[in-house]
Structure 1
Amino acid sequence: MKKLEFLILGKNEAILEILLRLVNANENWNAIGFNHETLAQEYFLKNNLDFVLLSSGIEDHVEKEFTQFCIKNQPEVEVIEHFGGGSGLLQSEIYHRLHLKNKL
């Protein structure tokens, strides 16, 4: 199985660190995190990603614009809005999306 690549965007540093730790705990997943959308966009354009996780602290208009940017530039990317609920919920959201795309 190919390692899944994640970009996490969130403005709450503590939550961003937790999400990075949770995603990177899976040996088949690799995540990088950003707290500013411009830096995240630059990284996004240079890398082929499987998932984008949007976390807490992002303004509504930034969330919408960033989601549109991602889908426009990499239509196959999965964008998930994740604002909490524990590691089990996050993993369930990811596995659900993989199942829907027949990648499990």
Structure 2
Amino acid sequence: MQITILYIGRDPEITIVMNRLLNARPEWKGICVCTDEEAMSILKAQHVDLVLLGNGINPNCEKALRENVNVLKPKIKIIQHYGGGSGLLYGEIMTALG
């Protein structure tokens, strides 16, 4: 079963890298966006197992984003990933899903 991960970040170049990393694993489907509006649209339209917050989201936006995600998908897990290798990313995701 494929796990759908929504990555939300602000840096387009890092978002491209995250898209590549998340979609490199056959058991994951990564959807990567740079805006909250895109994220909310995806959450409304399709199943998502995990939300991954990336760098560049200021604290006020992060708070609002978490609140909005929780309204739409109250049971979804939200974790932060600010960088590191793909091994760290894998560990963070598997721990969150575990």
TM-score, L = length of structure 1:
0.87
Partner of 2:75: 76
How far, CA to CA, are the matches of 1:64 and 1:86 in structure 2?
26
How far, CA to CA, are the matches of 1:57 and 1:97 in structure 2?
21
Identity of aligned residues (%): 32
The one-letter code sitting in structure 2 at the alignment partner of 1:24 is N
- Cα displacement string for residues 23-68 of structure 1 (whole angstroms, at most 9, x for unaligned residues): 1111011011111111211111111110111111112111111111
TM-score, L = length of structure 2:
0.92
Partner of 1:6: 5
- The answer for unaligned runs of 5 or more in structure 2 is none
Question: Would you identify which runs of 4 or more consecutive aligned residues in structure 1 move more than 6 Å?
Answer: none
The answer to whether the Cα contact below 8 Å between 1:34 and 1:40 also exists between their aligned partners in 2 is: yes
- The answer for unaligned runs of 5 or more in structure 1 is 100-104
RMSD across aligned positions (CA) = 1.1
Counterparts of 1:40-79 in structure 2 under 5 Å?
Answer: 40-79=39-78
SS at match of 2:40: helix
SS at match of 2:82: coil
The answer to whether the Cα contact below 8 Å between 2:79 and 2:96 also exists between their aligned partners in 1 is: no
